[in-house]
Structure 1
Amino acid sequence: MNKQLRSFEQEYVPKINQLLDEKLATSANQPLLGQSMAYSVKAGGKRLRPLLTLAAIVSLNKEITSAEMQAAVAVELLHTYSLIHDDLPAMDNDDLRRGQSTNHKVFGEDIAILAGDGLQALAFDWLATAPLDASITIRLVQKLAVAAGPKGMVAGQVEDVSTTGKRIPLVQLQALHKRKTGALLEYAVMAGATMGHATAEQSQHFARFGAAFGLAFQIYDDILDETATAEQLGKTPNKDEVEGKNTYPRLIGLPAARQALNASIEDARQACDALLDSGVDGNILSAFLSYFEG
């Protein structure tokens, strides 16, 4: 991780966590539901998605007010809901997430499902009630619904589970990754571009960066699943291979998977260069590419 990204995280991760702690304390009027929701949200994580939103805003030289912060953090609730459901026995059947027992292992499958449902709805509540200009709020709500719904993350998840045990072409895997993982990461970048009032040209470069970063993120995750330990991952390693999931290493081998990762990183870097040419501080987003080092 480079110095600029470390400094950015040190400034904004505590603010993200503080907002989550404060607002989650009154988010549910049923104690068990509130405990289950907070358990997974407060389990840690990189807070990568809200950080990307905030970075896009900062890159446009716009102030981050409490309204932008609330809207940025909303995506973390939706991301956490997806993790809770992804870990369920009917899906990936994981016992570990972020280094601790998964939600359903602690609260039971029924409460875990409902906690995920609650977090999904709460994400849109926080987004809709952030005191932003109404036109921006409508765009953000619509963009998040598309990224998370049946044309985005949910579609990718269905593709993932329905092709388990079947070998699919690489182009199909790329589309799967774009929906399952990339859509929400691209949304996070575009949410910042929207709140930062990016021009049409700048928005194209932000979208290119978000798409390339999202694909790189999933390829990197595929590689780590085969090469990292449980302690490094915070979850069970080698599950993709055991369950017959389609991944870059399984389809094209580790060396070619690393080449594909580098190609996606380079695409993202070129998008940052284009942002610089259009008057945006692309160096801030470029710093996030150090996430893939090591």
Structure 2
Amino acid sequence: MTSSALAFEWTETNRMWLLENPIRITAYIVAGLVTRWLMHRLIDRATRRPLRRDGAPTAPTLVRHLRERAPQALRDPELIERRAQRAETIGSVAKSCASIVLLLWVVLSGLSVLHVNIAPFLASAGIVGLAIGFGAQNLVRDFVSGAFMLLEDQYGVGDIVDLGEASGTVESVGLRVTTIRDIDGTLWYVRNGEIIRVGNMSQDYAVARVEIPVARTADLDRAQRVGLAAAREAVAGPPAFDAVLDEPQMLGVQDVSAYMVTLRMVITTRPNEQWAVARLVRMKVLEAFETHRIALPTPALACD
């Protein structure tokens, strides 16, 4: 009897460790893998580029901005490609977070099956998390700000932006740091959490502002007609033709001083083309003023 009882107890104990516990742990692992696969599929579906009826790709659903629902935005291949890159970045981060959370869940569930007291682990994790939270507040703020910047598409690689302390062309956009190359070639590393305002000069369209000084004695009506005609001629052909979205508009007198009058003209252009168009128009306007003998302000006129 004693031998049979011992054999029965040994069988029950080993049945739990060799059969029940491995099955439960395997079930948790399988559930974690299946959940991870489903979450990755959902993320891929949200970040992939769906096709229109004509077979052309569109912007990913996850990052489709409200203003992009305009037909011209949906047909812009550069805009669609930029949205796709941004969606891939967000999707990669989301997949990593999902994998880490599921891994922790599987490990803690396996420890509980083995009757390991996980309360000390949870308490230690809470304390460590609290310490990291206090010590890495700026880091967390940088990551949160970077995530919202990507979701809202405040700027992207190639955009010309003004971030307050630094302005120039965006070279990379990360979750923690944005790098900007200014006009002097200096590369600025800007923490996302420190960015309070963003001025993007490369979204949707731009405006070339051309201010033309003429002498106080000049015929202003004639100067405006000649300047507007020269600007229209400048943007009618290459290289400015493809960069201009609308005809030049003469706004009129912008400023008056003791010896000169400033005329302002605006031209709607494609993003990042406003400066080249403005330089070309200024050159053509100056040539037209010289041809039509429209006086420009000079120090001699100022002294008179």
The structure that is strand-richer by fraction is: 2
TM-score by structure 1 length? 0.23
- Higher Rg: 2
Q: Which has the higher contact order (CA 8 A, sep 6+)?
A: 1
The structure that is helix-richer by fraction is: 1
